[in-house]
Structure 1
């Protein structure tokens, strides 16, 4: 002999919103300035001596801070990486210039 027992289900009644339904995740819209700044920041680690790669990444990072508040972290990292590599390039260039000027009197001996 079988007995019927009521079971509790996790379904909502017809017409009522389902409290167990998950909401789909929405993707944040970015126009790519912050991603480009971060990528150029990583590329400038290798290509910092070109001077143009860190400058372009720095400009894109500053533009991304103003235009893309959702991807602020990537823009900040791009600005930091590009600034450090740009400062390193300028310091190395100044060091070479000072060394060259210091050795100039010995060039014609």
Structure 2
């Protein structure tokens, strides 16, 4: 069993562009299971989007998989669903992002 978390602030990333904001702050909690060379995980958290008209908050949920291709190379893919709607209940920018990253160990 794997448990982890992360806090991120970005001004020009995929999620910032997806929720139509100038800056986003994210809190992510990850829970997963190690299957040997692969690790599957679930992501739960929240996103706060800062725009010139104020801030919006919403949930962030996703699924991911990390695979070790050999002792030095790992590939991670994560699918996230995010919503960052205004407090008045009107339509919210929401959507999905898919990210694929590679990590090298030395």
Q: TM-score range by the shorter chain?
A: under 0.3
Instruction: Select the structure that is richer in helix.
Output: 1
TM-score by length of 1: 0.20
Q: Greater Rg, structure 1 or structure 2?
A: 1
TM-score normalized by the length of structure 2? 0.21
